[in-house]
């Protein structure tokens, strides 16, 4: 049994932190050895709905009827803790988290637990997706204290918000080698009453160590050298799972930035092993049960090394990143299977995670009817009742359906069930049934559609329908990329509609807001919200060449620099300054399931700066890279997006400008520019007849003084400060680009 967790870096503890941990451990041990004062359990369930009832977060609203007198994080709860001098019980999770639900049912719906919490603690519930600043602070603390982390997150704080004990899931009673939540509450309460001074001292030590861990990150060690990229590829090759793809043991998380690096590394250096690692992993993920073979879209992670049994929740941020990866893999290989996966993801997002006004919802739960995965698994007999004998035989052979089930589980409700998955390449199945691949897919898609319609009759997993700026930025990028790669205007339109929604509905006085639900946008945006949206707008500009997106991206970048940049040490803080309820302003640098904001800034800001002629934005991205440089070679897998940023700096692509009216000739040049797989290229387009042409030439240096030579559509290609001769035909442009991109860097 594991709690849900992200793949995060291990933390080297400073000496002061080790001292603080020892002190806290000593307190808890001594409490366990002392006679425990009986805890009062006379408090009854409040006669009123708890304080979460007016929140907008679906996760918080899930808990509004708990007998625990929950508060949202805010002045009321923090003030009450200070005035009553009670410790804070902080519980952080999110709507799609399976073990969050388990702990709720076992403990937070329990009257005995609630009575203790209500009398002796101030209980605060936080949605980690709405308040990632709090999640980052206290998750880093939990990882320092315990060596690992996950959700639900359980943290005990002093009344001024300083942590002194933390963990993840606790069962109500002692079991599985874990202390029960009731036992833990007793120990914490007795410690607070009898050894409060030691707890306060320890909490101060932990907070100081946490601050120091952030300060030590700002070390300028110079710009990355090409050897960093070679070392990253070598490191990945050494840790690669040659049997099943991916890296590490179970559980396995989708390694999206790693796969992007390998695809680009192969194209830029010719390193065949990089391509082999990427494509094998992409295949195995898409064959497995972690991919929803019936409805499209990826589940959160695989609990095994084979990508078969997923943790069944579906997150927007995973599907956005994976859509981008499979789209890029299609461009790199022209393998239609990767296009199929990318478009299936987009179909799933459009069907299940898109608001009528264009914004993208956050996630779908792992559970339905109280069972994880029930919505997605199948009985052998059920499939035979729904399909004809011939179709059932075909479907069962392709997706490894068995009468006794095709996976093992400790959960009784999974026994005898099947997770559809592939055990070999689709081409091999087509040959097995003596079908061409197109005919094979046509037959299989018909059955998938039939079963999707049937599955839709089941009770659906819970939907977290809040809209987050950051995750929408990732999905805007994915849809815009797909629109270009697949020449599919519907995906570009999907990105446009979402961008319009965020920019019009999720801003206040020009400042971006974090979250939107039911017509209400609130919470000041974080670094991730700004930088992911900037990246999405850049990709959208290169899809439709509407300069509005560049103007909006520049405006967001200016706000980001103004409010989040550390003028003393460089790098971006995660949250706005001046928030008295935060014990520290975090400055994230390491990637988890979502790239860190500083990693994305190192990748996105130089690209924006080059496109619009803002060297100051470029330099801020380079400052982040300089500070990260020493860690890139030592632990590349912890900062793969910064490796991507170093790759873009060291191996820049060409700058391509297409000038011409909206005509067949101009479109042919655009198609030629987009046909080849060219990592790190910059694209711009100018229509001399458009009303925005003068503004475009002013805003984009790449278009300055460019014209349709002789009245003909014209392409201009430059690279490394050297420009090729202007050309007018698609074949000439393709030849130029082929010559440039075949000038490969050393492996």
Residues in Cβ contact with 392 at an 8 Å cutoff, skipping those fewer than 6 apart: 383, 384
Residue with tokens 């932990």: 206
Residues of the chain with CATH 3.40.30.10: 15-215
Alpha carbons 680 and 672: distance in angstroms, whole number: 16
More reliable by pLDDT, 6 or 330: 330
- Note every long-range contact of 409-415, with CB atoms under 8 Å and residues 24 or more positions apart, other chains counting: 409/309, 410/1, 411/371, 411/372, 413/371, 413/374, 414/373, 414/377
More reliable by pLDDT, 8 or 481: 481
Residues of the chain with CATH 1.50.10.10: 226-375+463-650
Digit-coded pLDDT (tens) for 385-432: 999 999 999 999 999 999 999 998 756 567 789 999 999 999 999 999
Query: 1 pLDDT exceeds 70?
Result: no
Q: Which two tokens stand for residue 653?
A: 């692509």
Task: Report the pLDDT averaged over residues 36-41.
Answer: 38
Q: Please tell me the predicted confidence (pLDDT) of residue 83.
A: 97
Query: 13 pLDDT exceeds 60?
Result: no
Q: Give the Cβ contact number of residue 336 at 10 Å.
A: 13
CATH fourth-level superfamily of 15-215:
Glutaredoxin (3.40.30.10)
Please answer whether residues 120 and 86 qualify as being in contact, where contact means their C-beta atoms are separated by less than 8 angstroms.
yes
Pairing status of strand 682-686 against strand 655-659: parallel
The DSSP result for 278-314, as a single string, is: HHHHHHHHHHSTTB-TTT--B-SEESSTTS-SEE--E
Burial of 47 (0-12, 13-18, 19+ CB in 10 A): exposed
246: left (phi over 0), alpha (psi -120 to 50) or beta: left
Q: How confident is the model at residue 147 (pLDDT cuts 50, 70, 90)?
A: confident
Please answer whether residues 255 and 248 qualify as being in contact, where contact means their C-beta atoms are separated by less than 8 angstroms.
no
Query: 4 pLDDT exceeds 60?
Result: no
Q: How confident is the model at residue 744 (pLDDT cuts 50, 70, 90)?
A: low
Main-chain dihedrals φ then ψ at residue 154, nearest 5 degrees: -120, 115
Bridge partners, residue 97, by sequence: none
| N-term to C-term CA, the chain | 42
> 3-class secondary structure for 182-210?
HHHHHHHHHHHHHCHHHHHHHHHHHHHHH
Query: 110 pLDDT exceeds 90?
Result: yes
Q: Which two tokens stand for residue 246?
A: 């991916």
Q: Please tell me the predicted confidence (pLDDT) of residue 41.
A: 39
Q: Which two tokens stand for residue 313?
A: 């929740």
Instruction: Provide the sign of the torsion angle of the four alpha carbons 200, 205, 206, 211, taken in this order.
Output: positive
Percent of the chain surpassing pLDDT 70: 92
Q: Which CATH architecture has domain 226-375+463-650?
A: Alpha/alpha barrel (1.50)
> 3-class secondary structure for 27-68?
HHHHHHHCCCCCCCCCCCCCCCCCCCCCCCCHHHHHCCCCCC
Query: 658 pLDDT exceeds 60?
Result: yes
DSSP H/E element including 620: helix 615-634
Q: How confident is the model at residue 743 (pLDDT cuts 50, 70, 90)?
A: low
Residues in Cβ contact with 486 at an 8 Å cutoff, skipping those fewer than 6 apart: 327, 330, 339, 342, 343
Query: 23 pLDDT exceeds 50?
Result: no
Q: Give the Cβ contact number of residue 38 at 10 Å.
A: 7
Digit-coded pLDDT (tens) for 182-220: 999 999 999 999 999 999 999 999 999 988 887 766 667
Q: Which fold would CATH assign to domain 655-741?
A: Glutaredoxin (3.40.30)
Lowest average pLDDT, out of 69-73, 525-529, 590-594, goes to: 590-594
Digit-coded pLDDT (tens) for 293-336: 999 999 999 999 999 999 999 999 999 999 999 999 999 999 99
Mean pLDDT of the chain: 91
Q: Give the Cβ contact number of residue 721 at 10 Å.
A: 6
Query: 44 pLDDT exceeds 50?
Result: no
Q: Give the Cβ contact number of residue 369 at 10 Å.
A: 11
């Amino acid at each position: 049994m594991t709690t849900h967790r992200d793949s995060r870096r291990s933390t080297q503890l400073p000496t002061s932190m080790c001292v603080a941990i020892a002190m806290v451990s000593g307190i808890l041990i001594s409490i366990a050895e002392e006679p425990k004062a009986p805890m009062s359990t006379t408090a009854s369930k409040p006669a009123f709905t708890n304080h979460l009832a007016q929140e907008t977060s679906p996760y918080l609203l899930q808990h509004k009827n708990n007998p625990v007198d929950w508060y949202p994080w805010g002045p009321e709860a923090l003030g009450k803790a200070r005035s009553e001098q009670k410790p804070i019980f902080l519980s952080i999770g999110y709507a799609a988290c399976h073990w969050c639900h388990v702990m709720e049912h076992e403990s937070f719906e329990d009257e005995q637990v609630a009575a203790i919490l209500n009398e002796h603690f101030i209980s605060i519930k936080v949605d980690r997706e709405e308040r990632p600043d709090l999640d980052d602070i206290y998750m880093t603390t939990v990882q320092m204290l315990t060596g690992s982390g996950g959700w639900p997150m359980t943290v005990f704080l002093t009344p001024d918000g300083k942590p002194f004990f933390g963990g993840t899931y606790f069962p109500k009673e002692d079991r599985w080698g874990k202390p029960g939540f009731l036992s833990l509450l007793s120990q914490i309460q007795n410690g607070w009453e009898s050894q409060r001074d030691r707890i306060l001292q320890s909490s101060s030590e932990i907070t100081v160590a946490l601050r120091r861990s952030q300060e030590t990150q700002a070390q300028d060690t110079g710009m990355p050298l090409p050897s960093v990229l070679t070392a990253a590829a070598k490191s990945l090759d050494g840790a690669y799972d040659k049997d099943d793809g991916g890296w590490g043991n179970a559980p396995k998380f989708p390694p999206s930035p790693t796969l992007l690096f390998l695809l680009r590394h192969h194209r830029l250096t010719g390193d065949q092993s990089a391509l082999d690692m990427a494509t094998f992993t992409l295949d195995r993920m898409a064959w497995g049960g972690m991919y929803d073979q019936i409805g499209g879209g990826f589940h959160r992670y695989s609990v095994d090394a084979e990508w078969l049994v997923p943790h069944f929740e579906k997150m927007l941020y995973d599907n956005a990143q994976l859509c981008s990866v499979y789209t890029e893999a299609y461009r790199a290989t022209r393998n239609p299977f990767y296009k199929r996966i990318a478009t299936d993801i987009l179909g799933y997002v459009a069907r299940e995670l898109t608001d009528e006004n264009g914004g993208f919802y956050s996630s779908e739960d792992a559970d339905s009817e109280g069972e994880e995965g029930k919505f997605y698994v199948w009985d052998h007999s059920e499939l035979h009742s729904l399909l004809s004998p011939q179709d059932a035989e075909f479907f069962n052979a392709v997706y490894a359906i068995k009468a006794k089930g095709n996976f093992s589980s400790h959960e009784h409700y999974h026994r005898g069930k099947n997770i559809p998955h592939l055990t070999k390449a689709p081409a091999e199945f087509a040959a097995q049934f003596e079908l061409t691949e197109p005919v094979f897919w046509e037959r299989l898609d018909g059955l998938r559609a039939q079963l999707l319609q049937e599955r839709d009759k089941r009770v659906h997993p819970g939907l977290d329908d809040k809209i987050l700026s950051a995750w929408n930025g990732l999905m805007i990028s994915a849809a815009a990329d797909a629109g270009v790669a697949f020449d599919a205007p519907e995906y570009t339109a999907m990105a446009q509609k979402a961008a319009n929604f965020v920019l019009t509905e999720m801003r206040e006085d020009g400042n971006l807001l974090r979250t939107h639900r039911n017509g209400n946008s609130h919470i000041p945006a974080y670094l991730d919200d700004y930088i992911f949206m900037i990246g999405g707008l850049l990709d959208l500009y290169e899809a439709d060449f509407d300069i509005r997106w560049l103007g909006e991206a520049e405006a967001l970048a200016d706000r980001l620099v103004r409010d989040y940049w550390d003028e003393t040490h460089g790098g971006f803080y995660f949250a706005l300054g001046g928030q008295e309820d935060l014990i520290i302003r975090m400055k994230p640098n390491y990637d988890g399931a979502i790239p860190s904001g500083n990693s994305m800034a190192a990748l996105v800001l130089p690209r924006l700066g080059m496109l619009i002629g803002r060297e100051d934005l470029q330099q801020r991205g380079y400052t982040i890279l300089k500070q990260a440089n020493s860690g890139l070679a030592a632990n590349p897998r912890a900062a793969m997006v910064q490796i991507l940023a170093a790759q873009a700096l060291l191996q820049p692509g060409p700058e391509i400008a297409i000038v011409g009216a909206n005509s067949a000739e101009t479109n042919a040049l655009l198609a030629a520019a987009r046909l080849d797989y060219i990592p790190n290229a910059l694209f711009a387009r100018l229509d001399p007849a458009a009303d925005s042409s003068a503004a475009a030439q002013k805003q984009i240096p790449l278009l300055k003084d460019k014209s349709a030579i002789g009245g003909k559509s014209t392409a201009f290609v430059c690279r490394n400060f050297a420009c090729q001769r202007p050309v007018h035909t698609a074949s000439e442009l393709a030849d130029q680009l082929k010559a440039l991109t075949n000038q490969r860097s050393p492996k």
